[in-house]
Amino acid sequence: MPFPISDATPVRHPGPPPAACDVVILGGGVLGVMTAFFLAERGVKVVLCEKGRIAGEQSSRNWGWIRQQGRHPAELPIMIEANRLWQTFAQSMPGLGFRQEGVLYLAQRESEMAAFEDWMKHARTHGLDSRIIGAEGVKARLSGSRAGWVGGMLTPSDARAEPWVAVPLLAQAAAQRGAVLVERCAVRRLDIAAGRVVGVLTEQGRIACDQVLVAGGAWSSLFLRAHGISIPQLSVLSSVAATAPMPEVFSGNACDHDFAFRRRQDGGYSLAPGYTHDFFIGPDAFRHLGIYLPTLKQDWRATKFHALAPRHFPDGWRTKRQWSADEESPFERQRVLNPAPNLKALSRVQDAFAAAFPQAGRPALTHAWGGMIDTMPDVIPVIDQSPLPGLTIATGLSGHGFGIGPAFGRILADLMTGKPPGHDLHPFRLSRFSDGSVIAPTGAL
């Protein structure tokens, strides 16, 4: 299969949607797919509506890491569950490409090693197999590497999978359990009566339901704001490239400030900038500037700013903010977000990789792509029931969604069926942005 998934990918789930169900899910990324999977397992009649293609956006464009290491303390126990779920899925779906080959963070200076040491207290609390390794340990694990890293942090139980293969396979598993998935079916509006959700209005007609889950990734804020619900969500561009098959330098996933990589099933690597990304300025950037200032102060050197969000992007200057159910919505104008990658940044990654692994040489790229990561100012998601009865929100996974998606899907299925979620969801509440809580990116690496 060509990667990543795009609007040119054949439709696998054409529908049509039924006239009624129990739950409608907006968004066919890993989070929506996994919630549909677990709801269907519980016997809930669930319909997932995807405006473009299942996994067409960030869920097939991510690095493919399944990472416990460096997680925010609130996310870590949930990610540990997700790792176990991936292992279970891999037993029945070997095509996921799941392999536990570890995640290695590489330190270029002692201050980074100190940050790794500080995070290790969370690993010890949860019995994780993370450990600090010195410069010689790094050199021993990376074939033909330079000797420039002062050390690193390694979690051997961390894993990887092939995102453009894995999420469609998980979607098929959800369908086999009774979930109805419909691609090219944008939800234009919620249907609200007597102050609660009673259905959705799609481009293919109305679907009556008792509950709706908004898991629209980069599009969630636009959809919710049209219904009077404001969340401080923005999106950043992550650029990724695939190399031709090349000698193995490390079987797992690794990164430093200059580059990140993952070994793929085809013998190549997926490469990306380690800590840099691009940000397109739109109306929401100004609207939420204040709450993002702590993040910007920490991260501004890693961000390349662009004055204008591209045409039809969720935060584009001319993107409609209001529309009726009987007119074309912004979600139909842009079926699949397919942003151009930052090729200059990827060229620097090629150079950095070649300098780090001179025996491997400068990697030849076969594909390059961009993906829009939905993020929050504290870099953890919103997983919560909204003030509008019948509406649940799950968005802002901040680049962590592929790995953690199975566990959050299980949690959302329990939350929406009145069962205990099994984890403390207080850190992910929507009200943290309005109840006076201090909002800052702390505790994660």
Number of Cα atoms under 13 Å in the Cβ half of residue 90: 16
Please count the helices (runs of H) and the strands (runs of E) in the chain: 12, 21
Instruction: Give 297's pLDDT tier (boundaries 50, 70, 90).
Output: confident
Q: Once rounded to an integer, what is the mean pLDDT over residues 419-428?
A: 98
Q: Once rounded to an integer, what is the mean pLDDT over residues 286-294?
A: 92
The pLDDT score that the predictor gives to residue 2 is 58
Distance of alpha carbon 349 from alpha carbon 341, whole angstroms = 13
Q: Once rounded to an integer, what is the mean pLDDT over residues 257-270?
A: 95
SS3 of 372, please? strand
Instruction: Give 275's pLDDT tier (boundaries 50, 70, 90).
Output: confident
The pLDDT score that the predictor gives to residue 300 is 72
More confident residue, 410 or 359: 410
Q: Once rounded to an integer, what is the mean pLDDT over residues 247-256?
A: 96
Q: Once rounded to an integer, what is the mean pLDDT over residues 329-341?
A: 97
Q: Once rounded to an integer, what is the mean pLDDT over residues 385-391?
A: 97
Identify the bridge partners of residue 394 per DSSP, sorted by sequence position.
383
Distance of alpha carbon 264 from alpha carbon 244, whole angstroms = 10
Share of the chain above pLDDT 70, in %: 99
The pLDDT score that the predictor gives to residue 296 is 80
Domain range 23-433, CATH architecture: 3-Layer(bba) Sandwich (3.50)
Element (H, E) at 198: strand 196-202
pLDDT, the chain, mean:
96
What torsion, rounded to 10 degrees, do the Cα atoms 362, 156, 98, 92 define? 170
Instruction: Give 308's pLDDT tier (boundaries 50, 70, 90).
Output: confident
Q: pLDDT tens for residues 130-187?
A: 999 999 999 999 999 986 899 999 999 999 999 999 999 999 999 999 999 999 999 9
Token pair for 248: 């193995």
- How much is the pTM? 0.97
Asked if 21 contacts 40 with a C-beta cutoff of 8 angstroms, the reply is: no
- Determine how β-strand 211-214 pairs with β-strand 391-395: parallel
Distance of alpha carbon 285 from alpha carbon 305, whole angstroms = 11
Q: How far is CA 160 from the centre of its chain?
A: 14
Whether 319 has a pLDDT exceeding 50, the answer reads yes
Instruction: Delimit the domains of the chain by residue range.
Output: 23-433
Find, among 138, 204, 133, 165, the residue nearest to 62 by Cα.
165
The pLDDT score that the predictor gives to residue 112 is 96
Token pair for 15: 């529908």
The pLDDT score that the predictor gives to residue 1 is 45
Asked if 369 contacts 255 with a C-beta cutoff of 8 angstroms, the reply is: no
Find, among 57, 114, 91, the residue nearest to 331 by Cα.
57
What torsion, rounded to 10 degrees, do the Cα atoms 26, 46, 54, 263 define? 110
- Check whether the bond before 358 is cis (ω within 30° of 0): no
The pLDDT score that the predictor gives to residue 143 is 93
Instruction: Give 408's pLDDT tier (boundaries 50, 70, 90).
Output: very high
SS3 of 305, please? strand
Number of Cα atoms under 13 Å in the Cβ half of residue 186: 20
Distance of alpha carbon 236 from alpha carbon 251, whole angstroms = 28
- Determine how β-strand 159-160 pairs with β-strand 187-193: unpaired
The pLDDT score that the predictor gives to residue 215 is 98
Q: pLDDT tens for residues 33-57?
A: 999 999 999 999 999 999 999 999 9
Q: What is the DSSP letter of 242?
A: E
The string of DSSP codes covering 71-112 is: --TTTHHHHHHHHHHHHHHHHH-GGG--B---EEEEESSHHH
Q: Once rounded to an integer, what is the mean pLDDT over residues 118-123?
A: 98
Whether 427 has a pLDDT exceeding 50, the answer reads yes
Phi-psi region of 390 (alpha: psi -120 to 50; beta: other; left: phi over 0): left
Amino acid found at 112 = E
